[in-house]
Amino acid sequence: MLASLGQRAFRWLDERLDLQPIQRFAEEKAVPAHRYSWCYFFGGATLFFFMIQVATGILLLLYYKPTAEAAFESVRFIMTEVSFGWLIRSLHSWSANLMVLAALLHMATVFFMRAYRKPRELTWYSGAILLLLAMGFGFSGYLLPWNELAFFATRVGTDMAGKVPVVGRFLLEFLRGGEDVTGATLTRFFGFHVAVLPMMATALVLFHVLAIQRQGMSVPTSQKETSAQNPGMPFFPNYFLRELMGWAIALAILAALSSLFPWELGVEADPFAPAPAGIKPEWYFLFMFQTLKYLPATIAGVEGELVGLFAFGLAGAAWFFVPLLDQRFSRGEPSPWLTIMGVLALIFMATMTLLGYVMP
């Protein structure tokens, strides 16, 4: 019954919008079948979590007040007075972390499968920017509850931004809306978080997803033969159902985390109180934070932290422009060199993140 209703609705729209090309595309769309097909899942998972963020974020917007005087209290209000406010808030906080995790896994699988190679460089660039936007979402959103941890983590994080040579001062004041982290910072971060970043992210996500539809899924070189022999799995309904299943599992994980480890409210930020011990940024920034802590005060006459930031900048640039680098080093052949670099980078980041939690 539902199916026939759906068919009638489709026919009604088709008579007006000519959906035939889309229908053909959907019927023909196939996902390559090979050993690493499961990696294709992570992109969709990231999108799924992003959609949860948009939905829960809009819901929170109904009650949140973005001023230093009212922010903490409004979050407390959401958590204590609004029906299921605690749930929406916990979902939003957890889904943020899961989104970044999924994005990182997606990026890692794309990297190791060399999916960024021609003709998919633009997809890689848009994805890299999206990952940075996701971290921007995380950083700006983290401040919004205006609790002690958030306040000081933001102060430390923007301090780091201020250390960038030449533009550091400008960057710091741009981010903070002044010299210090104040209510002005909160207002600014709120604007970034609910308007600027969503706008940029939506545009890039649309491009990213459309580019993939245009070009089809990439197949790693090692699997090209296997994949060529197989017509691939039809997207509708086979892969789609599997994707839904994956999303349902992701949702179950999100729900379990939100209920087993509900996000706490914390203590209201007091700019005049001394920073509590053990301030750390969120886990996806932690590896950088921890590395900078280990650097000596000066390296070859230059401030240690500056050297560290420069090194991260170089590494970041290399990562961003990997389609260019790979082209130069491999000429279409497998490039174990980049794989090794990638693995080392992952081990480094994982170790530093772990140390960041374990060390005092």
Residue 99: exposure state from Cβ atoms within 10 A (0-12, 13-18, ≥19): buried
Closest distance to other proteins from the beta carbon of 54 (Å): 13
Q: Which is nearer to other proteins, 246 or 342 (CB)?
A: 246
**Conformational region of residue 117, where left means phi above 0, alpha means psi within -120 to 50, and beta covers everything else:** beta
Q: Which is nearer to other proteins, 10 or 84 (CB)?
A: 84
Q: Of 32, 66, 85, 281, which one interacts with other proteins (CB under 8 A)?
A: 85
Please give the Cα distance from 121 to 115 (Å, whole number).
8
Q: Which is nearer to other proteins, 162 or 266 (CB)?
A: 266
Identify residues 240-279 at the interface with other proteins (CB under 8 A): 241-242, 244-245, 248-249, 251-252, 255-256, 258-260, 262-267
Q: Which is nearer to other proteins, 29 or 76 (CB)?
A: 76
Q: Of 23, 80, 215, 351, which one interacts with other proteins (CB under 8 A)?
A: 80
Q: How many CB atoms lie within 10 A of CB 359?
A: 10
Q: Which is nearer to other proteins, 253 or 340 (CB)?
A: 253
Please give the Cα distance from 2 to 8 (Å, whole number).
10
Q: Give the interface size with other proteins as a residue count (CB under 8 A).
A: 41
Q: How many CB atoms lie within 10 A of CB 249?
A: 12
CA-closest candidate to residue 218, choices 42, 26, 344, 37: 37
Binding mask 111-140 for other proteins (x = CB under 8 A): ------------------------------
Closest distance to other proteins from the beta carbon of 232 (Å): 14
Q: Which is nearer to other proteins, 89 or 208 (CB)?
A: 89
Q: Does 236 bind other proteins (CB under 8 A)?
A: no
Closest distance to other proteins from the beta carbon of 178 (Å): 20
Question: Please, which contacts does 224-232 make with residues 24 or more away whose CB atoms are closer than 8 Å?
Answer: 226/34, 226/35, 227/32, 227/33, 227/34, 230/32, 230/33, 230/34, 231/30, 232/30, 232/31, 232/32, 232/33
Residue 208: exposure state from Cβ atoms within 10 A (0-12, 13-18, ≥19): buried
Please give the Cα distance from 243 to 42 (Å, whole number).
10
Counting runs of H as helices and runs of E as strands, what totals does the chain give? 16, 4
Contact range with other proteins by CB under 8 A, out of 37-45, 74-82, 305-313, 315-323: 74-82
Please give the Cα distance from 346 to 340 (Å, whole number).
10
Contact present, 129 and 208 (Cβ < 8 Å): no
Mention every residue, 6+ apart, whose C-beta is less than 8 A from residue 57. Answer: 92, 194
Contact range with other proteins by CB under 8 A, out of 85-93, 125-133, 293-301, 338-346: 85-93
Closest distance to other proteins from the beta carbon of 278 (Å): 16
Q: Of 59, 144, 194, 352, which one interacts with other proteins (CB under 8 A)?
A: 59
Closest distance to other proteins from the beta carbon of 252 (Å): 4
Residues in touch with other proteins (CB under 8 A): 59, 62, 69-70, 73-77, 79-89, 237-238, 241-242, 244-245, 248-249, 251-252, 255-256, 258-260, 262-267
